[in-house]
Structure 1
């Protein structure tokens, strides 16, 4: 039932994402960020639907992710990308409103809600989401700056090919989408992670082997059962949350995991 529920959520919000693209953004030549934005550019400039370009551009990225990130996450991402692509074949490209700014705002909000829930249920829309998880695993790269730069390419392409006012609408749409994703998925880029588990060594090894983060291990005791347990503490970025939950679940499905926002980190923290 858990798997059925997860795929039902991924299916519904992948279709809603296609609705946001075809009903709000594409009719006004307003783009979204990342690889999806590039797919929209190619779809507007060629007779091939943007949904098909979305699959084509994501194929090499998903292959790399399959080898580097994990099969469950990439399989969920493939499911989401293909569902969005197919929905874009059948949802007509038509204007809900003639106001491009309104379309950029509401399209960005709907896209942000959809992507936020897709990420929350351990999937992605491919593209920069997968690239981000691959890079944050082993490399100390400022991911926020990297994604901003890649999204800026989409904005400049929109300006040069279409019009600069549409490029500004694209920038607004990308910004709104990012804010809504953070609200739906997790509000802050840095997160406190605490894990209480009977398999402390295995969980620690799994986290250290797949992340660039350090882990603090403490001894704990169950207040009711008096059972000795290990308490693991670390700080991660929001891009790592989906893979971390999967790693912990694969080692100890009964582990107690607490995730909370952190206002500031001082010291040796790699800011991916």
Structure 2
């Protein structure tokens, strides 16, 4: 299901770009927007530009966000880049404003789906994920803020009507991403497993959160177990569930909503 979600989300983004945004010279957010600019003013294909611009950021994400997340992101970037290369640019609607709104909403839907499948579409998404994990900010707001440079560039290269339409598109994208991907809630996970040390190492390697380990005893079996407790953001839940299953598919996991977190929410620096 995760693979299907990654493909679906990536293809939705492709359709949004080539059928709604690019035909009206309306840009998307981040590196995708810069790729569009290169595709409009140079002979370089938008898909190829998208891949080349994302490559350095994928390396950064590999170092800071874990192997699995970046491998999923690389897969998404490849699907998007290939799709932009293959799918013809054709305007579905004639009205630029409607295309900006609907294209932005579709882009947000695709990005949100990819995020929920423990990946990203590359570009500023990776930077947003890194900052959100360290500073606990809503990702949609972060992406909208970083995309101001794309709006300014579009204004100078094309016209300010295009820049304002780009602003509308990016704003809608950010709102839809936050609605689909996360409501910025916190969750407490209590993981009961017989593979406590393996689980600890796996989670600490792939998750930017701390955790607490306690000893426990099975009430029926009287066997020794470990109880791992951690607090995560809602957008990390799918990733954490996959990480837990990789170590111990039979682990008992209790997930509860957390009203408030006091103290150090992120993993302490070594």
Would you say same fold, with TM above 0.5? yes
**1:121 and 2:117 equivalent?**
yes
**1:156 and 2:156 equivalent?**
no
Q: How far is the alpha carbon of 1:29 from its aligned partner?
A: 1.6
Structure 2 portions without partners, runs of 5+ = none
Who is 1:89 aligned against? Answer: 85
C-alpha deviations, 1:145-186, integer Å up to 9, x for none? Answer: 76444212112222222222322222222222222223333x
1:16-165 maps to which residues of 2 (within 5 A)? 16-134=12-130, 147-165=143-161
Q: How far is the alpha carbon of 1:109 from its aligned partner?
A: 1.5
**1:8 and 2:4 equivalent?**
yes
Q: Is the 8 A contact 1:192 1:233 kept in 2?
A: no
Q: 1:96 to 1:235 in 2, by over 3 A?
A: same
**1:189 and 2:184 equivalent?**
yes
C-alpha deviations, 1:177-230, integer Å up to 9, x for none? Answer: 222223333x32242141423133332344345545332445666677676544
SS at match of 1:18: helix
Following the alignment from structure 1 to structure 2, what is the Cα–Cα distance between the partners of residues 81 and 122? 13
Q: 1:15 to 1:210 in 2, by over 3 A?
A: closer
Structure 1 portions without partners, runs of 5+ = none
Q: Is the 8 A contact 1:140 1:212 kept in 2?
A: no
**CA RMSD across the alignment:** 3.2
Q: Is the 8 A contact 1:27 1:95 kept in 2?
A: yes
Q: Tell which deviates more after alignment, 81-90 or 204-213.
A: 204-213
Following the alignment from structure 2 to structure 1, what is the Cα–Cα distance between the partners of residues 44 and 232? 40
C-alpha deviations, 1:220-267, integer Å up to 9, x for none? Answer: 666776765444333334565565344333332333445565554344
Q: How far is the alpha carbon of 1:127 from its aligned partner?
A: 1.5
Following the alignment from structure 2 to structure 1, what is the Cα–Cα distance between the partners of residues 106 and 256? 25
Q: 1:209 to 1:7 in 2, by over 3 A?
A: closer
**1:176 and 2:172 equivalent?**
yes
Q: Is the 8 A contact 2:47 2:85 kept in 1?
A: yes
Following the alignment from structure 2 to structure 1, what is the Cα–Cα distance between the partners of residues 259 and 152? 33
